[in-house]
């Protein structure tokens, strides 16, 4: 007899159960604070699974009819037992003989994704009269797919009358007793649903589950243990073994605690989204059944609830600088545990492609999106490159080599001898033209090595196989990798090439990426890290773009290839002895290890000293500077001689995890604040009466007056004084710039003292063609616009940094963000003078949530507009200098360099009394626009929220969401642990 028999009778007992439950109210209240329990139903018959799930939940949650149960996928339903929150996952028929291994793997993967961050218990729904030896082997195989520890988390359930008699007798574990053998392996954990005493059986089941969980240390199976990441993707078996092998025992416990925290945050948000989805479903059902609803108000509720699910925070960007050959790609591969993701070992020409790496949405695919420059941009650049090569005298070999590399990479060897028209009709041209027309190209592969091979032509250069390499027309490559949400869920790693380019589009993209970086990693070979002039030059020339004009708060120097060590040579060059290294003469391997440690410590000390001497860096308020000495090769080696912690790759992973955790905390905090606020507004539907409406009017008037007062205070006491201080600093900068203008121009356009003039006219030509900016192949930067703006920036940098700091998340006293943080209209008491303080508290809670949500939008606007405000000076100068660059670029023939220099000097001289004033006015206008926008956003959005809070009779129906509010508070507390 199946559970379907007398089901109506079972559910009729609910009235009796409710009486029993009322007697255990204290226990139920206590259970509400317990964490959510996740139960996975497994069995030979998914309909039987559904019936068991319905009995546990006490309602018809799963389909139990064969005709309607067509979709063979895992289903997840939330509910409560004795007040305890539970999630029941019903799996499809995993025992079906026609299921392929692939289908089984996909089904298991889907089931685990539904139970993220991991199931607490597997409930095996089996019947002894139809359970064979083959079934027993299949059960074990399926459980092993989940985990080799799955039996420790399994309870057997039987449901038929016959099975009740069968199970009630002691199992002997004899070979013919196949179900008995399974129960024995589950440590004799089994439960009978006898079809009559549903309530008592469910309570007994949960007692057994609690006992089992106690034996398992109160922890669930984690996704990593099952071989699945929280997003639901399987880790390849080889990778699981590799990862287990690479982690030393000393790290396992710490890694588990970090992973547990991350999973708790993910799970809490997922559960909160389910709570809000259920509330929205109830709301829509009520709206449908009540014609007389306030449509404008209901749309406000709808939009807010929909916005919760779609809300995202911009990811944290980490820029990775470094020359080709210094180990950037190997470093990124090692951090992600992807040995073959980014191509490594390329020693040919440097490419200037920006590569972004982030976590992918696809569960089992590696994808790359290649973005190309425009057809017009490439044709203009090609003409310029051919022009450089046509020069017979005074050639700049660096620029000419770069031109040769680009043309030959695309069109093949000896292509530099062809004309523009010949190249446009070359055999390679149709492929190139198709790429540029498409703008982007997406590549997807199941293996990292396959993706690496596929993207090679777009990011690599090989002298031995020219033609068909497309990096010269590539702007960026965006790579998304699966299984890395623990490290990259909220992070983008950006490989920023240290070498320059003649292409204006790529250079502008490079600058744009700099402004987005929260942190910068400078990668250099340990043997030259401290003396690497190119690395420090990149930092110096880019600092204002990263800090005042960007979001950077920290710089990290990463010394690579620390395993590349010859102990004897090192000891001799440093004049060391065994006593210095604290080693014995006999131990050769220890000598190498000690030498590596000695060099690592020296490199860290020298780099920190060098940074402290760089006053240029210090005065731009980069306070966080750290150094890592890493060995990617040792970390990935199967037979390493360095310990994992000595490679320092785990430390860099921890840096990423902290960024991830910080980002996840911000997401969770904003989500729970907004969600609780909207639920609080819905909760006021319980108190719709005349007295309540009078209270609403009184509260609205009080808050409206406070809004006016706060806006006036923000404008008069805070924002206008900032404007006045900025204006004074800019005025000083304008006067100084006018005096120094000619000197600055001369310094930038004349032949540098360290050069002999040979080929410099090509550098000047590139500078004019790129509108004042040029970065050479070795990373040297020449920026006339920035040089002309430098004095104005020096005049405002200190004040600007005080107004718009990156450091301290905007809490610095005197910053624009800090002034907005002080603003509040909800800091009043509603305990006195109101007939229903509890309802008023709900309204105030809603308004506080709206205020917090609004402030986060304003903070994001401040951070974005800050970059535009700061860039306005150089943008103005670039626009004003544009006609001069165009005129100078057209100067050709004998003495063309001298003519270019004359044109540029003359042009800046003619503009000096207007150009800097325009730059000042443009910055002040942009700053004023931001302050007005802040005031407008606060006023308009808070007035709208006040109006909705005041609206009378918003709900023609009552919705009690107090339980959901408590559930969100509980989940919010989980993310704070």
- List Cα–Cα distances, 332 to 41, 129, 429, 523, 768, in angstroms: 40, 56, 34, 11, 36
Q: How many Cα atoms within 13 Å fall on the side-chain side of residue 82?
A: 18
Reported as a pLDDT band with limits 50, 70 and 90, residue 68 is: very low
Peptide bond into 146 cis (omega under 30): no
The answer to whether residues 404 and 416 touch, using CB atoms and an 8 Å cutoff, is yes
pTM: 0.70
Distance CA 77, CA 49 (A): 13
Distance CA 234, CA 227 (A): 6
- CATH fold label, 34-216: Rossmann fold (3.40.50)
DSSP structural state of residue 503: -
- List Cα–Cα distances, 726 to 733, 803, 859, in angstroms: 11, 9, 20
Distance CA 265, CA 263 (A): 5
According to DSSP, the residues that pair with 38 across neighbouring strands are 87
Q: Which of 106-120, 206-220, 922-936 has the lowest mean pLDDT?
A: 106-120
Distance CA 436, CA 129 (A): 67
Q: Is the dihedral of CA 469, 470, 476, 477 positive or negative?
A: negative
Is 67 in a helix, a strand, or coil? coil
pLDDT score for 765: 82
What token pair was written down for 904?
């540029």
The answer to whether residues 210 and 154 touch, using CB atoms and an 8 Å cutoff, is no
The answer to whether residues 621 and 549 touch, using CB atoms and an 8 Å cutoff, is no
More confident residue, 36 or 808: 36
Q: Which of 593-607, 681-695, 787-801 has the lowest mean pLDDT?
A: 681-695
Distance CA 714, CA 721 (A): 10
- List Cα–Cα distances, 405 to 17, 397, 760, in angstroms: 80, 12, 20
Distance CA 182, CA 131 (A): 10
The answer to whether residues 770 and 507 touch, using CB atoms and an 8 Å cutoff, is yes
Where helices occur in 442-493 by DSSP H, the ranges are 448-459, 485-488
What token pair was written down for 746?
């001369």
Q: Which of 207-211, 469-473, 475-479, 622-626 has the lowest mean pLDDT?
A: 622-626
Pairing outcome for strands 316-322 and 517-525: parallel
- List Cα–Cα distances, 119 to 36, 146, 220, 387, 776, in angstroms: 10, 10, 6, 66, 56
Distance CA 91, CA 104 (A): 11
Containing 544, the helix (H) or strand (E) segment is: helix 533-546
The mean pLDDT of 648-673, rounded to a whole number, is 87
Reported as a pLDDT band with limits 50, 70 and 90, residue 609 is: confident
Distance CA 716, CA 350 (A): 54
What token pair was written down for 7?
């089901």
Q: What percent of the chain has pLDDT over 70?
A: 79
According to DSSP, the residues that pair with 474 across neighbouring strands are 372
What token pair was written down for 349?
């020409």
Reported as a pLDDT band with limits 50, 70 and 90, residue 241 is: very low
Q: Which of 163-177, 715-729, 873-887 has the lowest mean pLDDT?
A: 163-177
Reported as a pLDDT band with limits 50, 70 and 90, residue 668 is: confident
pLDDT score for 162: 45
Could you report the per-residue pLDDT of 532-567, keeping only the tens digit for each?
A: 776 777 777 777 788 888 888 888 999 999 888 888
pLDDT score for 364: 67
The mean pLDDT of 657-677, rounded to a whole number, is 86
Could you report the per-residue pLDDT of 623-657, keeping only the tens digit for each?
A: 678 899 999 988 988 888 888 889 999 999 999 98
Give the DSSP per-residue string, 374-395. Answer: PHHHHHHHHHHHHHHHH--SS-
The residues near 119 (Cβ < 8 Å, ≥ 6 apart) are 38, 39, 40, 89, 112, 146, 153, 220, 221
Strand order across the 366-372 sheet: 440-445, 366-372, 474-481, 354-359, 491-497, 316-322, 517-525, 554-560, 624-629
The three-point CA angle 720-725-726 to 5° equals 95
The answer to whether residues 662 and 915 touch, using CB atoms and an 8 Å cutoff, is no
The answer to whether residues 136 and 259 touch, using CB atoms and an 8 Å cutoff, is no
- pLDDT at residue 759 tops 70: no
pLDDT score for 104: 75
Is 777 in a helix, a strand, or coil? coil
DSSP structural state of residue 718: I
- pLDDT at residue 258 tops 60: no
pLDDT score for 5: 38
- List Cα–Cα distances, 258 to 261, 485, 501, 635, in angstroms: 5, 13, 42, 21
pLDDT score for 3: 39
Q: What is the phi/psi pair of residue 446, to 5°?
A: -90, -15
Distance CA 472, CA 436 (A): 11
pLDDT score for 585: 64
More confident residue, 604 or 393: 604
The mean pLDDT of 77-104, rounded to a whole number, is 78
Could you report the per-residue pLDDT of 960-969, keeping only the tens digit for each?
A: 888 888 888 8
pLDDT score for 324: 75
Q: How many Cα atoms within 13 Å fall on the side-chain side of residue 531?
A: 3
Q: Which of 256-270, 501-515, 703-717, 822-836 has the lowest mean pLDDT?
A: 256-270
Distance CA 29, CA 499 (A): 64
- pLDDT at residue 252 tops 50: no
Other beta carbons within 10 angstroms of residue 602's beta carbon come to: 14
Reported as a pLDDT band with limits 50, 70 and 90, residue 164 is: very low
If you search the block for the tokens 């998340």, which residue do you land on?
809
Distance CA 43, CA 143 (A): 11
Reported as a pLDDT band with limits 50, 70 and 90, residue 875 is: very high
pLDDT score for 787: 92
The answer to whether residues 454 and 445 touch, using CB atoms and an 8 Å cutoff, is yes
Distance CA 744, CA 791 (A): 10
Of 339, 648, 352, 373, whose CA–CA distance to 481 is shortest?
339
The mean pLDDT of 909-929, rounded to a whole number, is 95
DSSP structural state of residue 424: H
Containing 443, the helix (H) or strand (E) segment is: strand 440-445
- pLDDT at residue 686 tops 70: no
The answer to whether residues 511 and 312 touch, using CB atoms and an 8 Å cutoff, is no
The mean pLDDT of 54-73, rounded to a whole number, is 69
According to DSSP, the residues that pair with 154 across neighbouring strands are 122
The answer to whether residues 440 and 333 touch, using CB atoms and an 8 Å cutoff, is no
- pLDDT at residue 170 tops 50: no
Q: Average pLDDT over the chain, rounded to whole? A: 79
Could you report the per-residue pLDDT of 377-398, keeping only the tens digit for each?
A: 899 889 888 887 887 566 667 7
- Give the residue extent of every domain in the chain: 34-216, 372-482, 666-950+960-976
- pLDDT at residue 17 tops 60: no
Top-confidence range, 115-124, 352-361, 791-800, 958-967 = 791-800
Distance CA 544, CA 800 (A): 11
- pLDDT at residue 367 tops 70: yes
What token pair was written down for 554?
């920290």
Pairing outcome for strands 84-90 and 37-43: parallel
The three-point CA angle 582-587-589 to 5° equals 100
Q: Which of 95-109, 317-331, 792-806 has the lowest mean pLDDT?
A: 95-109
The answer to whether residues 292 and 688 touch, using CB atoms and an 8 Å cutoff, is no
């Amino acid at each position: 007899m199946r559970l379907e028999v007398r089901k109506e009778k079972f559910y009729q007992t609910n009235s009796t159960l409710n009486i029993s439950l009322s007697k255990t109210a204290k226990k139920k209240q206590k259970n509400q604070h317990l964490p959510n329990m996740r139960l996975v139903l497994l069995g030979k018959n998914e309909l039987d699974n559904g019936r068991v799930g319905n009995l546990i939940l006490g309602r018809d949650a799963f389909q139990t009819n064969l005709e309607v149960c067509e979709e063979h996928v895992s289903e997840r339903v939330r509910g409560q037992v004795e007040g305890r929150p539970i999630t029941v996952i019903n799996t499809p028929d995993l025992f079906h003989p026609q299921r392929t291994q692939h289908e089984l793997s996909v089904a298991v993967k889907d089931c685990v994704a539904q139970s993220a961050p991991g199931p607490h218990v597997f409930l095996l729904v089996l019947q002894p009269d139809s359970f064979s030896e083959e079934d027993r082997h299949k059960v074990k195989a399926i459980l092993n797919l989940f985990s080799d520890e799955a039996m420790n988390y399994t309870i057997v359930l039987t449901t038929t009358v016959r099975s009740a008699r069968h199970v009630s007798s002691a199992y002997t574990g004899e070979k013919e007793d196949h179900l008995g053998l399974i129960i024995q392996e589950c440590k004799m954990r089994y439960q009978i649903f006898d079809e009559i005493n549903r309530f008592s059986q469910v309570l007994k089941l949960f007692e057994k589950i609690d006992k089992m969980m106690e034996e398992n240390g109160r922890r669930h199976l984690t996704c990593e243990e099952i071989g699945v990441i929280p997003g639901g993707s399987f880790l390849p078996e080889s990778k699981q073994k590799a990862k287990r092998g690479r982690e030393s025992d000393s790290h396992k416990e710490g890694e588990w605690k970090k992973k547990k925290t991350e999973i708790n945050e993910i799970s809490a948000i997922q559960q909160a989204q389910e709570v809000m989805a259920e509330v929205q479903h109830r709301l829509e059902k009520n709206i449908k059944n009540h014609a007389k609803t306030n449509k404008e108000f209901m749309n406000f509720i709808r939009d807010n609830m929909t916005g919760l699910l779609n809300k995202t925070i911009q990811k944290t960007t980490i820029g990775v600088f470094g020359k080709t050959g210094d180990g950037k790609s190997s470093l990124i591969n090692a951090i992600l545990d992807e040995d073959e993701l980014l191509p490594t070992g390329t020693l040919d020409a440097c490419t200037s492609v920006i590569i972004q790496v982030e976590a992918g949405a696809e569960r089992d695919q590696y994808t790359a999106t290649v973005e190309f420059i425009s057809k017009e941009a490439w044709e203009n650049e090609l003409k310029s490159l051919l022009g450089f090569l046509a020069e017979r005298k005074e050639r700049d070999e660096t620029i000419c080599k770069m031109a040769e590399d680009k043309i030959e990479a695309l069109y093949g060897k000896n292509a530099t001898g062809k004309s523009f028209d010949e190249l446009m009709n070359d055999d390679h041209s149709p492929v190139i033209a198709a790429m540029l027309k498409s703008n982007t190209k997406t590549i997807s592969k199941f293996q990292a090595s396959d993706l690496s091979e596929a993207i090679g032509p777009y990011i690599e250069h090989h002298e031995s196989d020219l033609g068909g390499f497309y990096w010269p027309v590539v702007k960026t490559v965006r790579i998304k990798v699966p299984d890395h949400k623990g490290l990259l869920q909220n992070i983008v790693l950006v490989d920023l090439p240290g070498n320059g380019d003649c292409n204006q589009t790529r250079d502008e993209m490079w600058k744009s990426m700099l402004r987005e970086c929260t942190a910068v990693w400078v990668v250099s070979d340990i043997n030259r890290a401290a003396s690497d002039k190119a690395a420090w030059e990149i930092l110096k020339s880019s600092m204002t773009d990263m800090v005042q004009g960007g979001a950077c708060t920290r710089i990290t120097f990463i010394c690579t290839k620390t395993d590349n060590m010859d102990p004897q040579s090192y000891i001799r060059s440093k004049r060391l002895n065994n006593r210095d290294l604290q080693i014995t003469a006999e131990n050769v391997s220890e000598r190498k290890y000690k030498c590596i440690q000695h060099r690592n410590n020296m490199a860290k000390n020298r780099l920190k000293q060098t940074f402290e001497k760089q006053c240029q860096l210090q005065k731009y308020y980069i306070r966080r500077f750290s150094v890592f000495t890493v060995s990617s090769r040792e970390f990935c080696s199967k037979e390493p001689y360095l310990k994992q912690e000595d490679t320092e790759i785990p430390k860099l992973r921890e840096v990423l995890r902290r960024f991830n955790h910080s980002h996840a905390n911000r997401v969770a905090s904003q989500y729970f604040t907004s969600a609780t606020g909207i639920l609080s507004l819905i909760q006021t539907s319980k108190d719709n009466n005349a007295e309540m409406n009078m209270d609403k009017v009184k509260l609205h008037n009080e808050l409206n007056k406070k809004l006016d007062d706060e806006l006036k205070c923000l404008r008069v006491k805070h924002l206008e004084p900032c404007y006045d201080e900025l204006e004074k600093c800019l005025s000083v900068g304008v006067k100084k710039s006018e005096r120094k203008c000619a000197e600055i121009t001369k310094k930038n356009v004349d032949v540098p003292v360290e050069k002999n003039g040979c080929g410099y006219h090509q550098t000047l030509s590139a500078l004019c063609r790129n509108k004042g900016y040029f970065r050479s192949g070795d990373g040297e930067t020449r920026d006339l616009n920035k040089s002309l703006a430098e004095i104005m920036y020096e005049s405002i940098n200190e004040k600007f940094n005080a107004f718009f700091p990156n450091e301290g998340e905007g809490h610095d006293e005197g910053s624009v963000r800090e002034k907005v943080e002080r603003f509040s209209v909800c800091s009043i008491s509603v305990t006195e003078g109101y007939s229903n303080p509890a309802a008023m508290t709900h309204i105030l809670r809603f308004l506080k949530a709206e205020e917090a949500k609004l402030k986060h939008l304003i903070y994001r606007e401040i951070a974005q507009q800050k970059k535009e405000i700061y860039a306005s000076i150089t943008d103005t100068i670039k626009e004003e200098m544009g006609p001069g660059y165009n005129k100078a670029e057209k100067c050709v023939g004998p003495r063309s360099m001298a003519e270019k220099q004359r044109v540029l000097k003359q042009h800046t001289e003619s503009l000096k009394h207007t150009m800097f004033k325009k730059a000042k006015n443009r910055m002040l206008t942009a700053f004023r626009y931001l302050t007005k926008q802040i005031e407008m956003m606060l006023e308009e959005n808070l007035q709208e929220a006040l109006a909705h809070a005041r609206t009378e009779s918003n709900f023609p129906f009552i919705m009690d969401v107090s339980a959901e509010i408590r559930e969100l508070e509980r989940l919010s507390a989980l993310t704070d642990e």
